[in-house]
């Protein structure tokens, strides 16, 4: 039988680690711009699952700027532990996923959007494949006219769990963390066809990978991007993509500089 650690113990360990980290935030102007672009103030902030701990550790900076953060957590046992920790550090957990509790999660998401919460969503979650973008966050943003905000984080010292599906990165005590916000953008309101939706998820994945390379350089890391096998899905989609039709608008431009 798998033991479930007490929520208080998880919080004490994780919070103690987080408090030892020094966060350096880049692209704050992009964060403000995204909030101004939104009809409710809500933002769809997209990042890779492996960077969740480092990214949510910067929640204090969000709170100081009056930005409330909500994050998705599955209905699994691990999801319950994560949700308890999120709640303890001031992040609103939204329980559910495409596999379980989808209707419940959708209802909570709608409420969070109406109330102006920033939605932190792992683009390859909750189960991967690793660094393969899902289309759900893109369609959520389009349907509700919310800006997409690429996010990346990297620590100067970290432990990488290479056997986990997401190669989860855990910053080590007293590490410095580069937390970067890319350029926000709105998607066209019209429903895209399958080919355009595929291009959009590749575009967003490319933006986050570029932003992560920027964060990695700031953290003096040597591995600036995912290995080739993690990008195979993008190349396969490019090879199967039909020629663009005249007059069809292309996807938004890349994230650009994170400074601001």
pLDDT at 97: 61
Q: What is the mean pLDDT of residues 105-116?
A: 92
38-52, 86-100, 102-116: lowest mean pLDDT where? 86-100
Pairing of strands 158-160, 169-171: antiparallel
**Per-residue CA distances from 10 to 5, 54, 108 (Å):** 7, 16, 25
78-87, 158-167, 187-196, 241-250: lowest mean pLDDT where? 241-250
- With a CB cutoff of 8 Å and minimum separation 6, the contacts of 254 are 183, 203, 206, 207, 210
Q: How far apart are CA 150 and CA 53, in angstroms?
A: 16
Say if residues 75 and 96 touch (Cβ distance below 8 Å).
Answer: yes
Say yes or no to pLDDT of 84 above 70.
Answer: yes
Give tens-digit pLDDT for 145-182. Answer: 999 999 999 999 999 999 999 999 999 999 999 999 99
Share of the chain above pLDDT 90, in %: 65
Q: Which of 82, 79, 114, 118 is nearest to 100 (CA)?
A: 79
Say yes or no to pLDDT of 243 above 70.
Answer: no
Give tens-digit pLDDT for 32-81. Answer: 999 999 999 999 999 999 999 999 988 877 877 888 999 988 777 677 88
Across the chain, mean pLDDT equals 87
> Could you identify the residue written with the tokens 């550790």?
57
Q: How far apart are CA 59 and CA 86, in angstroms?
A: 10
- The whole-model pTM stands at 0.87
CATH class of 19-240: alpha beta
76-85, 135-144, 213-222: lowest mean pLDDT where? 76-85
Angle between helices 7-20 and 77-88 (to 10 degrees): 60
Q: What is the mean pLDDT of residues 89-103?
A: 75
pLDDT at 120: 95
Q: Kindly tell me the burial class for residue 100, based on how many C-beta atoms sit within 10 Å of its own C-beta (0-12, 13-18, 19 or more).
A: middle
149-158, 166-175, 205-214, 227-236: lowest mean pLDDT where? 227-236
For residue 126, say if its preceding peptide bond is cis, omega within 30 degrees of 0.
Answer: yes
pLDDT at 251: 41
User: What are phi and psi for residue 171, nearest 5 degrees?
Assistant: -60, 145
């Amino acid at each position: 039988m798998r033991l479930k650690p007490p929520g208080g113990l998880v919080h004490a360990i994780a919070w103690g680690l987080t408090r030892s980290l020094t966060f350096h935030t880049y692209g704050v102007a992009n964060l403000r711009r995204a909030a101004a672009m939104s009809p409710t103030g809500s933002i769809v902030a997209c990042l890779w699952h492996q960077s969740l701990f480092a990214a949510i550790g910067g929640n204090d900076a969000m709170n100081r700027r009056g930005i409330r953060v909500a994050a998705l957590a599955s209905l699994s046992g691990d999801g319950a532990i994560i949700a308890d920790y999120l709640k303890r550090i001031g992040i609103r957990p939204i329980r559910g996923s495409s596999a379980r509790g989808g209707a419940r999660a959708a209802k909570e998401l709608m409420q969070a959007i109406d109330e102006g919460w920033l939605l932190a969503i792992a683009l390859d979650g909750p189960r991967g494949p690793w660094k393969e973008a899902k289309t759900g966050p893109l369609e959520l943003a389009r349907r509700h006219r919310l800006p997409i905000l690429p996010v990346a984080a990297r620590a100067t010292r970290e432990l990488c769990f290479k056997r986990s599906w997401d190669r989860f990165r855990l910053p080590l005590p007293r590490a410095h963390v580069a937390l970067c916000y890319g350029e926000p953008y709105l998607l066209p309101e019209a429903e895209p066809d399958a080919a355009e939706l595929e291009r959009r998820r590749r575009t967003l994945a490319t933006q986050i990978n570029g932003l992560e390379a920027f964060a990695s350089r700031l953290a003096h890391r040597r591995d600036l991007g995912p290995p080739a096998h993690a990008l195979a899905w993008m190349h396969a989609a490019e090879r199967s993509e039909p020629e663009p039709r005249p007059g069809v608008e292309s996807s938004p431009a890349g994230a650009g500089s994170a400074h601001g």
